[in-house]
Amino acid sequence: MRAAKRQIEKEKGEKIQAIESAKEERVAAIREKEQKLLSWENQAKQEEEKYVDRFNKQKEAILKQKQMEQQRELARGVGREEAARLMQKHRDDLGRLEQALASE
């Protein structure tokens, strides 16, 4: 009878060990997936930052170009009303451009 109890206890211990091993493997797999997800998230953030930087540079270049166009028009002696109309047109163009770039 003692031998049978020992055998049962031994089997119980082996089952518990197998369960613990499986649990540790699952935890390790979950941690590995978590690390991959974090790595992917960091890569996505870096890509997003690149696109935002490129967008901002394009926006600045366009704004500078529009400003230079406005200054050239003003330098040509365009009347105040015409200058105001052109500036409003440029502002409207910039607004539409910002919306288009933002939607990208």
* pLDDT on residue 64: 92
The answer to whether residues 62 and 45 touch, using CB atoms and an 8 Å cutoff, is no
* pLDDT on residue 77: 64
Q: Which residues contact 82 (CB under 8 A, 6 or more apart)?
A: 73
CA 39/CA 36 separation, integer angstroms: 5
* pLDDT on residue 6: 87
Q: Which residues contact 104 (CB under 8 A, 6 or more apart)?
A: 55
Residue 78 — left, alpha, or beta (φ > 0 → left; ψ -120 to 50 → alpha)? beta
What the block records as the tokens of 25 is 């493997």
Residue 59 CB neighbours (<10 A): 15
Output the pTM of the full model.
Answer: 0.45
Where the chain has pLDDT below 50, the residues are none
